[in-house]
Amino acid sequence: MLDYGPDAILMAGLDGANWRLADYEKRGGYEALRKLLADQVPPERVIAEVKKSALRGRGGAGFPTGLKWSFMPRQFPGAKYMVCNSDEGEPGTCKDRDLLRYNPHSVIEGMIIAGYATGSTAGYNYIHGEIWALYEQFEEAIEEARRAGYLGRDILGSAFSFEVYAHPGFGAYICGEETGLLESIEGKKGQPRFKPPFPASFGLYGKPTTVNNTETFAAVPWIMRHGGDAFLNLGRPNNGGTKLFSVTGHVARPGNYEVRLGTPFARLLEMAGGTRAGKRLKAVIPGGSSMPVLPADVMLATDMDYDSIAKAGSMLGSGAVIVMDETTCMVRALERLSYFYFEESCGQCTPCREGTGWLYRVVHRIETGRGRAEDLALLDNVSDNIAGRTICALGDAAALPVKSFLKHFRHEFEHHIEHRSCLVSGPDSEPKWGRAGAHLPPAMARAA
């Protein structure tokens, strides 16, 4: 049996091989859908149930899912779409991969129910290209569902028709941004769209569209089977249900853990085996690399739910918990992160295209002993000039880490600048992947 922790509901009863339709049905799968269709539950009731469950989007922003569905125009002639975001590009996040790998039908059933609730005609699952085998497996799962009558025309003899298609991505982080993702499905370069209009009014192929994360969809069948209240009660008010956390970094047992929202961080850390022997916890990025970093003491006093982490000064994001112990040089950690955003910026809007490169180069300079006294103020100010001024949230994602690293670990940066050396020396400070920027194109590497 795969062990995601005692509170697991999405990942309960999985052994790594029982992903097929028959196994899923044995676990009670597709019961929710059957019941909905048999009882002809009005779509609004489904949305109301999801609202009651306080399910919040698992893709990053934590937006209430039921509310999002209610934005889909009811009386719209023609196609409407549900899109599942399995691009999972946020550094540290690897939960959607497990969901697709071990429990793909929960995602399919969730999409069908969402399609029913919003009157959509088809769903697309956009799966990042690095997990090609899972993309193919998902195609197989769709085929199983189709053959069993869960997909296609007049599902299970009802008047509801719905199709699901899988669509591979090819490894661009920006294609996880929902409108970049829509462009990519349409066969265009994955560049985010300016909003408004929002996808609910002008989405895929210009039709009303809702984009939800894989885990968001996977939670829907459970909610419909056990009721919104039951889901809500697993977590906390406004933070319903369980959540998969991808715990990575300096822990003894990195991996995915499913816990109730509101679980203390200390408990989650314990499940992951705690920090490595003899090392003290230094900092945690609680929600994926785009979210602000928090110092150990703040994290150890925080519970893992959207509101508690927001109160602590960060965001729950995608649930990627990046744990750093005392051996981590925060300058190098930020250099690595900034390099990521620099390389992944789609390049269409000025502050992000120009600013991410600037941030990276300054942090890189500091890390390599060429920092200047005025650099920290510069980093702060450049971050401010990016955040909130871009087409999509990648700009914020690049700026927030910089600001938070400077806020909480300023002394390490100052030390680097003043002494041209690292405050945290130790064998572990050399990251496995080598220095960020090592694979810049030749012209740039020379510049760097």
Partner 1 sequence: MSELNLEIDGRAVAVPPGATVMDAAVKLGIYVPHFCYHRKLSIAANCRMCLVEVERAPKPLPACATPATDGMKVRTNSAGAKSAQQGVMEFLLINHPLDCPICDQGGECQLQDLAVGYGKSASRFEEDKRVVPAKDIGPLVAAEEMSRCIQCTRCVRFGQEIAGVMELGMIHRGEHAEIVAFVGRTVDSELSGNMIDLCPVGALTSKPFRFAARTWELARRKSISPHCGLGSNLVVQVKQNRVKRVLPLENEAVNECWLSDKDRYSYEALESGERLTRPMLKDHGQWREVDWPQALERVAAELTKAAGSVGILATPHSTLEELYLAGRLAQALGGSADFRLRQSDFSGDAKRGGIPWLGMPVANLDGLDRVLVVGSFLRKDHPLLAQRLRQAAKRGCRVNVLHSVDDDWLMPIANRKIVPPSELLEALRGVNGTPIGESLRSGRNVAVLLGNFAQQHPQAAQLQAAAQALGYPIGFLGEAANSVGGYLAGLPVGGNAASALGHKALVLLNAEPELDCADPQTAGQALERAQFVVALGAFRPARDGADVLLPIAPFAETAGTFVSTEGRIQSFHPAVRPAGDARPAWKVLRVLGNLAGVAGFDYETLEQVREACLRGKDLAALLSNRIDLAASPAAPAPQGLQRIAEVPIHFADALVRRAPSLQKTRDAQPPRAWMNARLMQQLGVSAGQPVLIRQGSGEARLAAALDDRLPEGCVRVPAAHASTAGLGAMFGTLGVQAVAVGKAA
Ligand X SMILES: Cc1cc2nc3c(=O)[nH]c(=O)nc-3n(C[C@H](O)[C@H](O)[C@H](O)COP(=O)(O)O)c2cc1C
- The site for partner 1 (CB under 8 A) is made up of 172, 174, 189, 194, 196, 342-358, 361-362, 365, 378, 384-385, 388-391, 441, 443, 447
400 touching ligand SF4, by CB under 6 A: no
Subset of 154-193 contacting ligand SF4 (CB under 6 A) = 174, 192
**Among 94, 164, 204, 211, interactor with ligand X by CB under 6 A:** 211
Beta strands in 196-325 (DSSP E): 209-213, 242-249, 255-260, 263-264, 281-285, 294-295, 303-304, 320-325
**Contacts (Cβ under 8 Å, ≥6 apart) of 134:** 97, 100, 101, 104, 127
Residue 58 interacts with which of ligand X, ligand SF4, partner 1, none, CB < 5 to 8 Å by class: ligand X
- Chain center to CA of 245: 10
**Among 233, 238, 327, 348, interactor with ligand SF4 by CB under 6 A:** 348
Residue 397 interacts with which of ligand SF4, ligand X, partner 1, none, CB < 5 to 8 Å by class: ligand X
Cβ 256 vs Cβ 244: under 8 Å: yes
Subset of 214-233 contacting ligand X (CB under 6 A) = 216
Radius of gyration of the chain (CA): 22
Residue 57 interacts with which of ligand SF4, ligand X, partner 1, none, CB < 5 to 8 Å by class: ligand X
Rounded alpha-carbon distances, angstroms, from residue 121 to 76, 124, 146, 165: 11, 10, 15, 11
Q: Strand 122-127 vs strand 81-86: parallel, antiparallel, or unpaired?
A: parallel
Least Cβ distance, residue 401 to partner 1 (angstroms): 17
Cα 210 from Cα 203, distance rounded (Å): 8
106 touching ligand X, by CB under 6 A: no
Cβ 361 vs Cβ 379: under 8 Å: no
255 pairs with which residues across the strands?
247
392 touching ligand SF4, by CB under 6 A: yes
**Among 107, 172, 174, 220, interactor with ligand X by CB under 6 A:** 174
261 touching ligand X, by CB under 6 A: no
402 touching ligand SF4, by CB under 6 A: no
Cβ 183 vs Cβ 193: under 8 Å: yes
- Chain center to CA of 35: 30
Q: Which is nearer to ligand X, 37 or 244 (CB)?
A: 244
Cα 8 from Cα 27, distance rounded (Å): 14
355 touching ligand SF4, by CB under 6 A: no
Least Cβ distance, residue 170 to ligand X (angstroms): 13
Interacting residues toward ligand SF4 by CB under 6 A: 174, 192, 345-349, 352-353, 390-392, 394-395
